[in-house]
A and B are shown apart, each in its own frame.
Chain A
């Protein structure tokens, strides 16, 4: 059974710092890995999707990497801003469109 783990569960950093969020998964037979952002009272917003054949994806200040063989992904956020404060979730897509989610990392950027 696929298990997705995100460490740390919570992270607080000063504004302007670069930071890395970690995601690990136990079964490397995945189609893709996705990073989502969740704001309180709102749904999930897809940030980046990395296909299993890819190593990384970039969008603005965000860069996500994937090492399928070791079961790891990282989300790098450059020059963090208070508006980046949210919960970040990673999820892996397995067969039959099944997304398996981690528990999330709650990120706080302090002004």
Chain B
């Protein structure tokens, strides 16, 4: 089983809909992250969390919110999806000891 899982893997939705992307990990890491990847722009950090009670905005948090329900779960919500939020979304985890980040397989989101 994969250490970092994301659901759904693909989602097509319409403008204005609320969408939740979920991430679960079995690595036992305290730190979790959400990124989006756009062609030609690389990966950009949306939100990150160092533990259950810690939530921090990243580079591009506008239009997104997150919830850290447990050490192993970190969800990303789009309150009212818009077409320029069409992208590939990645969840990642890390531990402070090594700084190495481990990525999930990604969720491809299309907003029509």
Taking Cβ atoms with an 8 Å cutoff, the residues of A that contact B are 4, 31-32, 34, 36, 41-46, 49, 89, 91, 93, 96-99, 101-104
Q: Is the interface of B mostly helix, strand, loop or mixed?
A: strand
CB–CB B42/A43 < 8 A? no
In the bound assembly, the distance between CA atoms of A102 and B4 in angstroms comes to 23
CB–CB A43/B4 < 8 A? yes
CB–CB A43/B45 < 8 A? no
CB–CB A96/B100 < 8 A? no
In the bound assembly, the distance between CA atoms of A99 and B33 in angstroms comes to 10
Taking Cβ atoms with an 8 Å cutoff, the residues of B that contact A are 4, 31, 33, 40-45, 48, 50, 56, 58-59, 90, 92, 94, 98-106
Q: Is the interface of A mostly helix, strand, loop or mixed?
A: strand
Q: Among B33, B44, B98, B103, point to the contact of A45 (Cβ < 8 A).
A: B103
- Closest residue of chain B to A42 (Cβ to Cβ) is B105
| Residues of chain A lying within 8 A (CB to CB) of residue B101 | 34, 46, 99
Listed A/B pairs (20) with beta-carbon separation below 8 Å: A32-B99, A34-B101, A43-B4, A43-B106, A44-B90, A44-B103, A46-B100, A49-B99, A89-B43, A91-B43, A96-B56, A97-B99, A98-B59, A99-B43, A99-B101, A101-B43, A101-B44, A102-B42, A103-B41, A103-B42
In the bound assembly, the distance between CA atoms of A44 and B90 in angstroms comes to 9
Q: Among A43, A101, A102, A103, point to the contact of B104 (Cβ < 8 A).
A: A43
| Residues of chain A lying within 8 A (CB to CB) of residue B50 | 97
Give me 13 other A-B pairs in contact (C-beta within 8 A), A49-B99, A101-B43 excluded.
Answer: A4-B42, A32-B99, A42-B105, A44-B43, A44-B103, A46-B101, A49-B98, A91-B43, A93-B99, A96-B48, A97-B33, A99-B45, A99-B101
| Residues of chain B lying within 8 A (CB to CB) of residue A36 | 103
